[in-house]
Amino acid sequence: MQRSIIKELVRKKLIGTEIISESSNEIKLQTLVSYPKLSVENALRRMYIITTSMYNDALQALKNLNKKLAQEVIQLDNEVDRFNLYILRQLKVAVQNGKILKNIGLSNSWDCLGYGMIVRFVERIADHAARIAENVLLLEEKPSEVVFQTLYEMSAFVQNIFENAIKSLFKKDYALANQVITKAKTIATLKNKAIKEIQFKAKQVDISNIKEITESIQRIAEYTSDIAEIVLNLNINQIITI
């Protein structure tokens, strides 16, 4: 109840204040005073942190069939949406104003386009983390250890490439982006392996919802690959030079 009150207060009363991260025992806030105070890069970093937290918590909710935690994941999706709108608003203004473009930490209008697409993909990844949580709410029984371990291995793989995709963006590391794209291509194989385990070892009543969870994990991997593709495009000049 207290968490909900704090978040509602931030949304309705504290103008220019954002929830930048959240865990089970802590909520961090920051007041956004001006463009330089929260560059597009920093805003995207925080959007990524929240999205990763949602993904981790959704899997934790699945492991323990913690429906309260699943609800919190779903609610946190609103915070990602707010960062999404905040960044896109800045990018729209920056395209038309070179001074603002520099102030928010970007070099040119091409960066604006690339970052805009990446922000949308991160927002969609958060949506799928929320969908995982929604499917947890529909489960009737906690998944067996074998079933959860299968899903966890798949999700841990995806979390790793998501982290590397964002890292490749901030470090302008096209080689790492290439690795992400290559690894992401194996997600279909991992999903098929998981589906086989689920068919034989999951409770019949929960199979469809667990399959939906694997579908969301696969979609996260695909959006991660899309992010890495954009990183390559943003660094095309460096690639050509080398």
What CATH number belongs to 37-241?
A: 1.20.58.220
Of 5, 229, 226, 3, residue with least CA distance to 123: 226
Question: What CA–CA distance (Å, rounded) separates 104 from 139?
Answer: 44
The pLDDT of residue 175 is 93
pLDDT band at 105 (very low <50, low <70, confident <90, very high): confident
Read off the amino acid at residue 69.
L
Q: For residue 14, what pLDDT is reported?
A: 46
| pTM, to two decimals | 0.84
CB 45 within 8 A of CB 170: yes
- Domain regions of the chain by residue span: 37-241
**pLDDT of 128 higher than 80:** yes
